[in-house]
Structure 1
């Protein structure tokens, strides 16, 4: 088995030396190219989001252009409801659905290792729950075999059940491998785009657009369309709760790591400590956000996206919900006899989340951020369509 260091070297070599990936255009990519030709002639939606201004800088839409524009799309649905050529018109222009299908193809094509790209199409709700349940059951049986599952309360000390070093190495390695896989995939996507030189201004604008979820405001800032023509900012708010909830949980882990290694303060930490406060706030965000996104996903009109991807969407949402719910339950019951059992369940769910990060819905945020950065760079460069008199 290759070491983490060897895999990291291999990933770096792939990211820096490989030539841009080129394939024949798929039917889904051809459909986006066809639709963009129609939209480029109409331009009614030019002010809706970044997709349409970026579209107007092109006369033809090759595979790299289609991938870029599809990942720039936030699937707000505004263009579908505004379009005079939308189904049942014979032109059948449905930008959100066509681009959602291409986004999935993007993740598959640029995945690393390449053979793992097919996991995007199989990473559904059943697989997510089965993986989380299987890992939790394995940890429970391991603890039962060692006789540590039914021990008296450990005063909230998780490390009395699982050694800190073992947990740090196991979860650190899995998370690092997931980030490497995502990083190599996005690097492949970026190399196919050739956006030009980065600048501080472009990076700043893209960062603001990512953190503020600007383009989930819809075409007129009133929000997204979900089940019908009505506009709502609910999708934007639930995405904010999910994103910042995740980041607060990650910050909690980082602060706890500093406490342990730098300050030599070992867990369990009091409820008033910074790691616990950050974790509780993040856990609440990861309950409310994914719950809201699940509700919107169930209600959403089938024409607003690719219905075939709903199992993948719901699998990721379910893992986020279970991670936050089990984490908060563990915190509340950490000084009871239920602590060891809840710890095994929580760790199994978190491990399943980490393992599926590179090959599930989480990838859309990474690729979309890269597309926003490309747009921020591209818009500051002269358009190839401008001809000097």
Structure 2
């Protein structure tokens, strides 16, 4: 990782460690105050614990024009982005996405959509519902490798990350604590519980926390919907298409709505926020990822609404193109931050139990 980013973050962290005014603001500060010296792994761990709520910046007496010129949210955001690029496998793709994320995502979605539509035009499978446009076997052949690739890629990155931050053997209690805090998005409420200062400077708000929760729970519902459909198909012999009152639809439709609304709200909040309190280099890539994720949900809902019309093949091609692009780009986009932040929360829980 870049030594200048690590050294600048270390300089600011050491000043914060001496001041301790922000103790209790979020998980970063108790972890920070528990140490006296900070290795590169320590700084990387603190960066991935940070949720960029920005409360510490607006409370700090050492921001510019003070000679200390502290901007801890920005310093940690730069290290965080660098860590995702460093641990990504292959790493060059992550750097390319953060530089030209919107163009890459759009090109992939359009390219895959054209490919899927061409498959439909050249060869119809004669199945029911969506399978009339693309056979079940063809979907499995395309999406199974695309689903496994990000899991392998992120797994390699997490293994390296865990080693560098000095992670111990994971116990159930560590996972329980980390998942509990993640489910509540506790750090986005800040230590005082009034919310963070992301979109309107020093005004406290829970808007970003709620948007994150809508995205997270919407995504989990959509994933549960796909998993339910897989179980029904292979174990119970119940093949698609499924009716509205079936489990895949009861999970997938609310999940798609939550995911779409959460992504739209998150784009709005990021657009209004002060970019100088984050990493300017990753802003475009972050927006591209959020739009891609929201696009997956929105095209899925459109496909459900128009699945019985003549528009179905085109809608299916666009939706599958967005899904495939999302899968293949996952290890190199901000989607990876969910995995690394959860790992950081587990490591933090381990440190708390040691105390």
The TM-score, its normalising length taken from structure 2, stands at 0.95
Residue equivalent to 1:107: 84
What CA distance in whole angstroms lies between the structure 1 residues aligned with 2:296 and 2:167? 37
- Partners in 1 of 2:107 and 2:168 — Cα distance? 44
The match for 2:324 among 351, 361, 384 is 351
TM-score (norm 1): 0.87
1:81 aligns with one of 54, 58, 63:
58
1: CA distance, partners of 2:77 / 2:284: 14
Specify the alignment match of 1:55 in structure 2: 32
| 1:154-233 mapped onto 2 (5 Å cutoff) | 157-225=129-197, 226-233=199-206
Is 2:294 the partner of 1:314?
Answer: no
* Residue aligned with 1:329, SS: helix
Query: Aligned equivalents of 2:196 and 2:309: distance in 1?
Result: 45
Aligned equivalents of 1:172, 1:119: Cα separation in 2: 25
SS in 1 for 2:61: coil
Residue 60 of structure 1, CA deviation: 1.6
Alignment-derived partner of residue 128 in structure 1: 105
Corresponding residue pairs, total: 354
Please, which of 299, 308, 312 is the counterpart of residue 339 of structure 1?
Answer: 312
Across the aligned residues of Structure 1 and Structure 2, the Cα RMSD in angstroms comes to 1.7
Shift of 1:312: 0.8
Q: How many angstroms apart in 1 are the aligned matches of 2:186 and 2:39?
A: 27
State the alpha-carbon separation in 2 of the partners of residues 273 and 92 from structure 1: 57
Counterparts of 1:256 and 1:143, CA distance in 2: 22
Structure 1 pair 120–337 and aligned structure 2 pair: CA distance change class (3 A): closer
Distance (whole Å) between structure 1 residues aligned to residue 200 and residue 281 of structure 2: 17
Q: Deviations over 1:330-373 (max 9, x none)?
A: 11111111111111111001101111100001011111111110
1:288 to 241, 244, 261: 261
Looking at structure 2, the residues matched to 93 and 311 of structure 1 have their Cα atoms a distance apart, in angstroms, of 24
CA separation of 1:113/1:126 partners in 2, compared to 1, >3 Å: closer, same or farther?
Answer: closer
Q: Against the structure 1 CA distance between its residues 248 and 123, is the aligned structure 2 distance closer, same or farther, given a 3 Å change threshold?
A: farther
Gaps of 5+ in 2: none
Aligned twin of 2:117: 140
Equivalents in 1 of 2:104, 2:97: separation in Å?
Answer: 11
Name the structure with the higher helix share.
2
Query: Could you say if the C-alpha distance between residues 306 and 118 of structure 1 is closer, same or farther in structure 2, counting changes exceeding 3 Å?
Result: closer
Counterparts of 1:197 and 1:138, CA distance in 2: 45
The answer on whether the counterparts of 1:72 and 1:372 sit within 8 Å (CA) in structure 2 is yes
Structure 1 stretches of 5 or more lacking a match? 1-22, 383-389
- Structure 1 residue 65 corresponds to structure 2 residue 38: no
In 2, distance between residues paired with 1:190 and 1:272? 43
Does the alignment pair 1:248 with 2:221? yes
Stretch moving more, 175-184 or 164-173 = 164-173
**Which one has the largest radius of gyration?**
1
1:92 to 2:64 alignment: no
The answer to whether 1:366 aligns with 2:339 is yes
User: Partner of 1:224: helix, strand, or coil?
Assistant: coil
Q: Structure 1 residue 99: deviation in Å? A: 0.5
> CA deviation digits over 1:268-301, x for unaligned, max 9?
1111111111110110011110000000010001
SS of the aligned residue for 2:353 comes to: coil
Give 3-state SS (helix, strand or coil) of 1:231's partner: coil
In structure 1, C-alpha distance between the alignment counterparts of 2:162 and 2:67, rounded to whole Å: 35
**TM-superposed deviation, 1:114:** 4.2
Find the aligned partners of 1:219 and 1:358 in 2 and give their Cα distance: 31
- The answer for the alignment partner of 1:44 in structure 2 is 21
Moved more, 162-171 or 340-349: 162-171
Shift of 1:117: 4.2
